[in-house]
Amino acid sequence: MGVLDGKRAIVTGAASGIGRATAVLLAREGAAVVVADLDEAGLGALVAAIAAEGGRAAGVRCDVTVEADCRRLVEAAVAGFGGLDLVVNSAGIIRRTSIVETTEDEWDRVMAVNVKAVFLLGRHAIPEMARGGGGAVVNIGSGWGLRGGPRAASYCASKGAVVNLTRAMAIDHGPQGIRVNCVCPGDTDTPLLRSEAGQLGEDMTAFLASSAQRPIRRIGTPEDTARAVLYLASDAASWVTGTTLVVDGGGLA
């Protein structure tokens, strides 16, 4: 018996990194998972991996910045699995530039993927969850949503917005039995983090080594964050909403 037996979930940004690890863990704990990403090959591999472990999953190609795609994603979950109980907003991008180095198009894209997507998916998912009696939303923020970081202006702004949007959603939808929380990871070994080394022109080995300089002397894994998401998605967190859970090996401390 898994702690999410009978639950129906959507996970965005699921083809790699934190999204992939989260989808795998939710499925292992009994949830039927609709996984969404632009990477169709990655989605196919993920669905096959979940099925090989005896789990249930379906892949949907989705641009989370497009409302019609978000609506179709929710419809696919309801049609395929009979309802919707959990949403994990894990899709995200980063641009390592200061505000004067950032183009308007880059700013708009980061804000669209990291913030607008949470709004768009919530706009269609929350009514379905309410019809089913409630559920849980977990937004993936960042430690840089709680403090600033160098040459990451648009990313810091977007993740700060996710943290406070989480609080607003929790207030609005708590009466419908919907809990909304945020997980803020520190540096985690994902393709997203590795792309930062290239953007900054830094040596990958040195960049990852610097990312591990925190009280718990290692870089984070996608599974570290996935376990935090599982807690917030489960009934163990039934009285937890509007909160931010930092998972960063003590980096912010």
Residues serving a catalytic function are: 155
Q: Alpha-carbon distance 17 to 221, whole Å? A: 9
Q: Alpha-carbon distance 98 to 82, whole Å? A: 45
- Pairing between β-strand 244-247 and β-strand 86-89 as defined by DSSP bridges: unpaired
| Cβ(37)–Cβ(13) below 8 Å | yes
Chain-centroid distance, C-alpha 220: 15
Q: Which helix (H) or strand (E) holds 9?
A: strand 8-12
CA dihedral 245, 149, 114, 136 (to 10 degrees): 0
| Cβ(114)–Cβ(158) below 8 Å | yes
Q: Alpha-carbon distance 174 to 196, whole Å? A: 37
